[in-house]
Structure 1
Amino acid sequence: MNLRGVWTLYQFEMRRMKRTLIQSVVSPVISTTLYFVVFGAAIGSRISHMGGVSYGAFIVPGLIMLSLLTSSVLNASFAIYFPKFTGTVYELLSAPLSSFEAVLGYVGAAATKSVLLGLLILGTAALFVPLHILYPLWMLLFLTLTALTFSLLGFIIGIWADNFEKLSVVPALILTPLAFLGGSFYSISMLPEPWRTVSLFNPVVYLVSGFRWSFYGIGDVGVGVSLGMTLVFLALCMAIVYGIFRSGYRLKS
């Protein structure tokens, strides 16, 4: 494996985070803080506890996941789209890097930035409500797996998109609604049938549920199911990326 090449690509993408610090870090933290203040104050005054946890603390995992999903997709999609847009992607394809090494550099950097953002939001949330993480290692596992999965999804979107409108349509019109309807601010057990059953077809439900379980030991589905579904999504995204590089879809033409 060309570790130097992977590390160079990884460092390049990480330095881009420093150049766009306000957009990459400051803006998501402020937006999440506003969500926390508005939902925690407005709804929390009417719902004191949920699942034995204060409502303000209950929504913290959901808010972190909401930012993590969006950040992972945007970071990875822009990272591969701009080389396509400027034509420098051909230099990447001709470089002594395998497709796996190129994906490792891009997706690794996007996932790292998302995990750092998630931890930063977690620290910000601790300023508003007392937090106690029951299973910190599980929390880091779900955080990392989710960041990797949606960074791969963002990479796929960046290759598929051929203009800036397509680049933003999936996060805006699909990902954000799924996150809001995936139990970020409520438990799906509160929903009447058939909406409770319909919600189980939303992949974000499993991500949020598993992540919330690592905090409080409660979730809408079993932690084993959450972990299994997360790994299935990860494997699916990896298979699609492999197929893209194998066929050269929108990369060699």
Structure 2
Amino acid sequence: MNWSAIRAIYVFEMARFFRTLAQSFVSPVLSSSLYFVVFGAAIGSRIDQVEGVSYGAFIVPGLIMLTVMTQAISNASFGIYFPKFIGTIYELLSAPINFLEIVMGYVGAAATKSMFIGIIILITSFFFVDIQIAHPFAMLAFLVLTCVSFALFGFIIGIWAGNFEQLQLIPLLVVTPLVFLGGSFYSISMLPPVWQTISMFNPVVYLISGFRWAFFGVADVPIGISLLAIALFTALCLGAVGWIFKTGWRIRQ
């Protein structure tokens, strides 16, 4: 394993992140604050509790997941698309490093960035609501797994995209609606039976449910199924990335 190459890619990507540090951190804090004001104050005044948890606290895991997923995809997709766009991807491919080391560098940096932002939102939430994390290690594990899996997904999007518009196509039209419909700001049990059944086909439900369980000990689906879902999603993304580098799809073609 060429750790020097992994470190070089990782440091380069993190340096780009820290150059826009204010934008990277201020924007999520402002956005999450607005969510707390709108959902926590306006809607929370009408909904006292959800499954024994105050509504303001109940939306925190969903809000973190919403931001973490979109940020992981955005950072990873742009990170690999830009070298492909300007042609430096060929220098990387001709270097004595394998595809796993390339993926570890780019995906590791994107996952780290999104995890930083997730932690910032968690810290921000303490200023608005009273939160007790029931299972802190499980919460951290779910956060890391989500960051890594969606960074892998973003890496695939960055390779697939043919222009800058396509970079935002799947996150805006697919991922964001799935997150909003995945129980980010409500419990699946609050829906009519038919919609509860339909929601079970939304993979994001399992991620948010597991993450919320780590906070409050309550979940819409069993925790084991949530872990299985995120493990399966990660495995599928790894398989797709391996196939891309093996065939050269959208890289050498």
Q: CA deviation at 1:53?
A: 0.5
Task: Report what 1:243 is aligned to.
Answer: 243
* Paired AA for residue 82 in structure 2: F
Q: What is the Cα deviation at residue 48 of structure 1?
A: 0.6
TM-score by length of 1: 0.98
- Deviations along 1:127-182, whole A, 9 cap, x unmatched? 11111101000000000000000000000000000011111011111111001000
Residue 36 (structure 1) aligns with? 36
1:121 and 1:226 map into 2 onto residues whose CA distance is 22
The residue aligned with 2:79 is: 79
Superposed CA deviations along residues 50-102 of structure 1, whole A, max 9, x for unmatched, are 11010000000000000000000000000000001101100110112110000
Shift >2 Å, 4+ stretches: 20-25
Partner residue, 1:52: 52
Provide the C-alpha distance between the structure 2 equivalents of 1:165 and 1:101, rounded to a whole number of angstroms: 28
| Offset at residue 191 of structure 1 (A) | 0.7
Shift of 1:36: 1.5
Superposed, which structure 2 residues align to 1:50-199 within 5 Å? 50-199=50-199
Aligned to 1:210: 210
Residue type matched to 2:30 in 1? I
Count of equivalent residues: 253
Q: With structure 2 as the length reference, what TM-score do the two structures score?
A: 0.98
* 1: CA distance, partners of 2:169 / 2:28: 18
Q: State the 1:29 CA deviation.
A: 2.0
SS at match of 2:193: coil
Amino acid corresponding to residue 6 of structure 1 in structure 2: I
Which residue identity is paired with 1:232? L
How far is the alpha carbon of 1:32 from its aligned partner? 1.6
Q: What is the rounded CA distance, in whole Å, between the counterparts of 2:20 and 2:243 in structure 1?
A: 31
Offset of residue 189 of structure 1: 0.7
> How much has 1:21 moved relative to structure 2?
2.2
- Answer yes or no: is 1:10 the counterpart of 2:10: yes
Rounded Cα–Cα distance in structure 2 between residues aligned with 1:122 and 1:34:
14
Instruction: Give the structure 1 partner of residue 24 of structure 2.
Output: 24
**How much has 1:23 moved relative to structure 2?**
3.7
Q: Which amino acid aligns with 1:63?
A: L
Letter in 2 for 1:31: S
RMSD in angstroms over aligned alpha carbons?
0.8
CA distance in 2 between partners of 1:191 and 1:58 (Å) = 16
Q: Counterparts of 1:25 and 1:103 in 2: how far apart (Å)?
A: 25
CA separation of 1:174 and 1:22: change in aligned 2, threshold 3 A: farther
Tell me, in whole angstroms, the C-alpha distance in 1 between the residues paired with 2:96 and 2:244.
18
Tell me the amino acid that sits aligned with residue 50 of structure 1: V
For residue 26 of structure 1, report the CA deviation from its aligned partner.
1.7
Task: Quote how far apart the aligned CAs of 1:203 are.
Answer: 0.8
Q: CA deviation at 1:4?
A: 0.6
Q: Per-residue deviation at 1:193?
A: 2.5
